[in-house]
Structure 1
Amino acid sequence: MLIRKPIFPGVIELNFQAGEVLGCNVYLVYDQDEWILIDIGYEETVDDYIEIIRQLDFPISRCKTLVATHADVDHIQGLAKAKQLLKTSVTGHPNAVKPLRDGDTLITLAEIEAQNLKLAMPPVDVEHQVNDGDIINVGNIELEVWHTPGHTDSQLAFRHGDVLLSGDNIYRDGCIGAIDAHHGSDIKAFVKSLERIRDSDVKWLAPSHGPIFRNDKDLLNRTIDRLRGYLKMADFGTLADSWPLMDQWDDEVAEGILPEGLVPPKP
């Protein structure tokens, strides 16, 4: 048997427990004999995680539900397999229901043709839908559901006392979950979600990738400022509000302005 290494009361992160990174962060939240998993990662690592859970002496039959933080393949490809092995249910945001049920390879980013990426996305039903403000009970633990859209429209985070299991909202280096129009990213919503995290009294952020870190307002402010800048950048295409350069170009064309030092040839 393994000695449990909780990172917070009632919370084990399975990669940290294993001493090696097998995939995205998978949080096992438990009280007494009841437990849940928040995310499961890729299908190929499901057996590894379940074996760790067995060796931690958690009753396999007492998995209350499998929670999807959002519907991206690196978080949920293994849901169908884990659900079958653990004989349990799946919980997620209403916006995650259809892509998970359909096994949608585009919205989940399982298939990116331009990068020659094509992963299986086994379909899985979501029995329990949760929204902002809902509570997920695990024994006597109450997880408060936060809907934090931006990275995707289904992104969830979960508050447990001073800790926020914060999904793909922000990482210790100030990076954020990928912004991609194909899976429901929204820059303005992302800013609001990060402001909510920044302004909360949560002390610790436990993300879906990488190490746990303190809720640092300066870090959040730098990231929010950078993200706001994306709203005026062509880099982010249809997700940007505008491209100020094109307004400048309109004026310069109307006024016949060329760069200083550029002398056009005579007709």
Structure 2
Amino acid sequence: MLARKPLFPGVIELNFQAGEVLGCNVYLVHDSDEWILIDIGYEETVDDFVEIIRGLDFPLSRCKTLVATHADVDHIQGLAKAKQILKTTISAHPNAVEPLTTGDTLKTLAVIEAQNLKMAMPPVEIENQINDGDIITVGKKEIEVWHTPGHTDSQLAFRIGDVLLSGDNLYRDGCIGAIDAHHGSDIRSFIKSLTRIRDSDVKWLAPSHGPVFAKDNAMLDKVIERVSGYLHMADFGTLAEDWPLMNEWDDEVEQGILPEGLQTPTE
């Protein structure tokens, strides 16, 4: 049996446990011998994670459910394979149901033709739809579900005491999950989700990529300010609410204004 390396009581992150980054963070949450997995990653690493779980002496038959934080391929491509091995159920937000059950390669970002990225997205049935305020019980442990849209419309986070398994909302370096219209990003929703995390009394954030870190409200203030600016930047296309430069351009065209030092040529 492998020596367990929990991050928090009843919470093991399988990459950290393995001493090797195999993909997105996969959290095994347990109480007694009942357990769940939050995310599973790519199909090619499912066997690796299952072997780690075996080595930790968790009975495979006691996996209560596999939970998807959201419907991006790097988090959920392996769900169908893991479900078959573990003979368990899948739990996800209602907005993740259609892309997961249909194997939608566009919304899950499994196929990005402009970058020649083409991955399989095996469809999988979702038995349990979970949403904000729901409680997932594992043994006597209670896990509070938060719906934190922004990165995607199906993004979930999970509170266990003073720890938030925070998905792709925020990373230790102040980066946030990718904003892309194809998988349901929404900037204003992202700001609300980040504000909710900042204003909560959780002490630790355990993200879906990278290391666990202490919640830092000063850092979150800077992130929220930065993301708020995205609402007014052409960089974010149809996800931005406006582009102030175009208002300025309207006025300058109407008034015939040119930059200082540039004059209209005389014909």
What band does the TM-score fall into relative to the shorter chain?
over 0.9
What is the match of residue 170 of structure 2? 170
What is the match of residue 114 of structure 1? 114
Deviations 1:3-30 (A, max 9, x none): 1111101000000000010000000000
Q: How far off is 1:227 after superposition?
A: 0.1
Deviations 1:143-176 (A, max 9, x none): 0000000000000000000100000000000000
Alignment of 1:79-118 (within 5 A): 79-118=79-118
Take 1:33 and 1:265, find their aligned partners in 2: how far apart are those partners?
81
2:161 is the alignment partner of 1:157:
no
Take 1:221 and 1:80, find their aligned partners in 2: how far apart are those partners?
39
Alignment of 1:5-84 (within 5 A): 5-84=5-84
Q: How far off is 1:266 after superposition?
A: 1.4
What is the match of residue 255 of structure 1? 255
Amino acid at match of 2:84: Q
**Which stretch shifts more, 256-265 or 13-22?**
256-265
Amino acid at match of 2:126: V
| Structure 2 residues not aligned, in runs of 5+ | none
- TM-score computed with the length of structure 2 as normaliser: 0.99
Q: How far off is 1:97 after superposition?
A: 0.1
What is the match of residue 244 of structure 1? 244
Q: How far off is 1:265 after superposition?
A: 1.4
What is the match of residue 126 of structure 2? 126
| Structure 1 residues not aligned, in runs of 5+ | none
Take 1:94 and 1:15, find their aligned partners in 2: how far apart are those partners?
28
Tell me, what secondary structure is at the counterpart of 1:231?
helix
Take 1:159 and 1:248, find their aligned partners in 2: how far apart are those partners?
45
What is the match of residue 179 of structure 1? 179
Amino acid at match of 1:57: D
User: How many residues in Structure 1 have an aligned counterpart in Structure 2?
Assistant: 267
Tell me, what secondary structure is at the counterpart of 2:232?
coil
Take 2:241 and 2:135, find their aligned partners in 1: how far apart are those partners?
35
Identity of aligned residues (%): 79
Take 1:99 and 1:119, find their aligned partners in 2: how far apart are those partners?
14
What is the match of residue 212 of structure 1? 212
Q: How far off is 1:79 after superposition?
A: 0.2
- TM-score computed with the length of structure 1 as normaliser: 0.99
Amino acid at match of 2:73: V
Stretches of 4+ aligned residues off by more than 3 angstroms: none
Q: How far off is 1:264 after superposition?
A: 1.9
